[in-house]
Amino acid sequence: MIDFKLDPKAGVPFYRQIIDQIRFGIATGKLSVGEQLPTVRALAVELKVNLNTVSKAYKELEIQNILETHLGSGTFIGDTDLTITPKQKQDKLHSICREFLTIASSYGFTNEDLIEELKNMKNHKKQ
C-alpha cells in the first residue's frame, strides 16, 4: 500500500495527485494487481478532502481500466500492465526538484546548501 500525500502548493488538483500516486504506485510495484485500495470515504477522511475528489480519481482510473470496483467489496487494482516511461519518470523528478528548490530558496537556502544536505543524508543512510 502507498502512503497518499497531497500538496496544496503543487498547482495540481488533488484528484489528479491521487491518480498520479496510484499510477506510479502500480508502475513501481508498490501496488499490485488485486490489492484493495481504501474506500472513497476512508481515503477522503485520511486526506481531509471532499468525498467527490477521491470518487472522481477512482472513477477516472476505472474508465482507464486501472481500477475495478466491486459493489459491496471495494476498489481494487485491476489486471493492468502499467509502466512509466523514462521521460515520464524524468518529468516527475524534474517537477519534484523544481518544487523542492522553490521551497528551499524561499527559506534562503542556496543550491549548494541543498546539495551538501542531500550528500549528508545519503551518507547517514549508509551507516
For residue 40, give the nearest of 31, 48, 50, 51 by alpha carbon. Answer: 51
**Alpha-helical segments (H) within the chain:** 14-27, 40-47, 51-63, 86-106, 111-126
Would you say the pTM of this structure is higher than 0.85? Answer: no
Q: Which residues contact 81 (CB under 8 A, 6 or more apart)?
A: none
Largest CA distance in the chain: 53
> What is the per-residue pLDDT across 49-97, written as a single tens digit (0 to 9) for each?
999 999 999 999 999 999 999 988 999 999 887 778 889 889 888 988 8
The pairing of beta strand 74-77 with beta strand 67-70: antiparallel
Q: What mean pLDDT is predicted for residues 28-44?
A: 94
> What is the per-residue pLDDT across 103-115, written as a single tens digit (0 to 9) for each?
899 999 999 999 9
Query: Are residues 68 and 76 in contact, defined by beta-carbon separation less than 8 angstroms?
Result: yes
Q: What is the CA radius of gyration of the chain?
A: 17
pLDDT given at position 6: 95
**pLDDT above 90 covers what percent of the chain?**
62
